[in-house]
Amino acid sequence: MIGLLAKSRALAVAVALAFLGLGAALAVIYLFSPHAVLRITTGPEGGQAHRFIEAFIKVAQARHPRIRIKTVTVDNLRASADALEQGKVNLAVIRSDVRLPANGETLVILRHDAMAFITPHHSAISSLADLSGKTIAIPTGPAQADNSHALDILLSYYNIAPEKVKRLFLDAGDIGTAVASKKASAALAVGPVGPGDVVTTVASIEHATRAAPKILDFDDADSIVKRFPIFESADVPQGGFHARPEVPDDDVTTIGVNYRFAVPITMPDIVANAIGRSILAAKGQLMNSSPLAGQIEAPDVSDTNPLLPIHPGFADYLNNGDQSFFDQAQRYLYIVGIPLSVGASLLTLLVSTWSARGAKKDRDALRRLVALANDATTADRARLESLEKELHEAVAASVNASGAGAGDQWKTALAVQHAMRRFEQRRAALSAASGAEGGSPETSPPQPQ
């Protein structure tokens, strides 16, 4: 066990060199990596989300040439959320009422869409409850199934079975004709206060009926949102969907949904922070390619019960402002540094324990050699032979323990020489005494008293 200390020191040096090599390799990878890859869903082909993503990719790659964005095509918004949940993408466009990924967190809000229930000017329909037994027209497009499903949820609030309201899917520009010919009693269009299906549908109905249509006002919007948090209350200003004549003719409150960028919970804070800041900073450039980019906004950090929590990395930026790279990376240094520090401490403790055990065994071996030498000075012949066997075993154990330091080797050699000299002196003394007396007193029989 004398060489255990040297072996422990060699192990500690090897571990330290391994950590140093790992750190150097990580540094090289970080400094010389040519790019980072960001996978993002495109949204349904031809949809507004798809057009926005195309604009976002152009701006993002121009601002960050080291970031390569790979698109993942999905059939609909539900598939977009699925892709994030399955780890196929790092960034996904989701709609609040369609599908929320279990592993997702909000980065930024892309836009708010109003669910506009449009009726002809002289219609008696004043609530969704009045739609029972009637037909409603919905613009065709990638989101038509999602919009129809949203209608089902809202009808359930009024205890109306979905099958009680028929659906007629038409191009937004043809819905006016269907309403004028009584094939549809109302229309549902989902879109922003700006260019989109709502504006087109309103214009179609106004043109076909030669009168400004109406937008249903939801007095119970807050109650609906409390029951179905996937929706939100949406305020539409007077003339928001049509200027002349004004549609609506007064401010109205309706039900709305929102689109947002979602990222996985596992995304590092520093990455989410950088992406979120880049999107907000690029808002002006994005508006040149997509007018809907004007609605991009940061999520509300004061919301104590959000539909989809804000990623903590971006929330830190929204709460504390811009921070240096080292401030953002500090937590990762702690995460890596603390285990390394604990590991180094444990390794030091282990080496120290091994060293102490080895030193104790070396001291015990030296004490045993000295004790054997001392016992030999008074031993008779039989006892001396027994002690010699123990001496050979002790010497063999000391010699077989390799790797001792120079000081330990010197002490061991000195102790061995001291013991052997005492044994030789005792053998000589016993031989002299035996020759003088003419026999061995140790082996002669006892004399009778």
pLDDT in tens, 26-61: 555 555 454 567 899 886 666 666 777 777 777 777
In this prediction, residue 60 carries a pLDDT of: 74
Radius of gyration of the chain (CA): 43
In this prediction, residue 357 carries a pLDDT of: 61
pLDDT in tens, 341-364: 556 566 666 666 665 565 666 667
Q: For residue 159, what are the CA distances in angstroms to 68, 123, 152, 186?
A: 49, 22, 10, 19
CA distance 311 to 266: 10
C-alpha triplet 263, 305, 293: angle, nearest 5°:
45
| Lowest mean pLDDT segment, chosen from 154-158, 346-350, 369-373, 380-384 | 346-350
CA distance 293 to 295: 5
Are 365 and 394 in contact, with CB atoms under 8 Å apart? yes
Residues 6+ apart with CB under 8 A from 165: 131, 132, 133, 134, 135, 136, 151, 155
| Lowest mean pLDDT segment, chosen from 176-180, 299-303, 394-398 | 394-398
pLDDT in tens, 116-167: 999 999 999 999 999 999 999 999 988 899 999 999 999 999 999 999 999 9
In the numeric block, the tokens 């699925």 are attached to 82
In this prediction, residue 326 carries a pLDDT of: 45
Check pLDDT > 70 for residue 6: no
Are 84 and 319 in contact, with CB atoms under 8 Å apart? no
In the numeric block, the tokens 């949809």 are attached to 47
In this prediction, residue 219 carries a pLDDT of: 92
Check pLDDT > 50 for residue 365: yes
Q: Give exposure, 21-51, as e/b (b: 16+ Cβ within 10 Å).
A: eeeeeeeeeeeeeeeeebbbbbbbeebbbbe
The pLDDT mean for the chain works out to 80
Residues above pLDDT 70, as percent of the chain: 72
Q: Where is pLDDT greater, at 109 or 338?
A: 109
In this prediction, residue 340 carries a pLDDT of: 58
Check pLDDT > 90 for residue 447: no
CA distance 29 to 17: 18
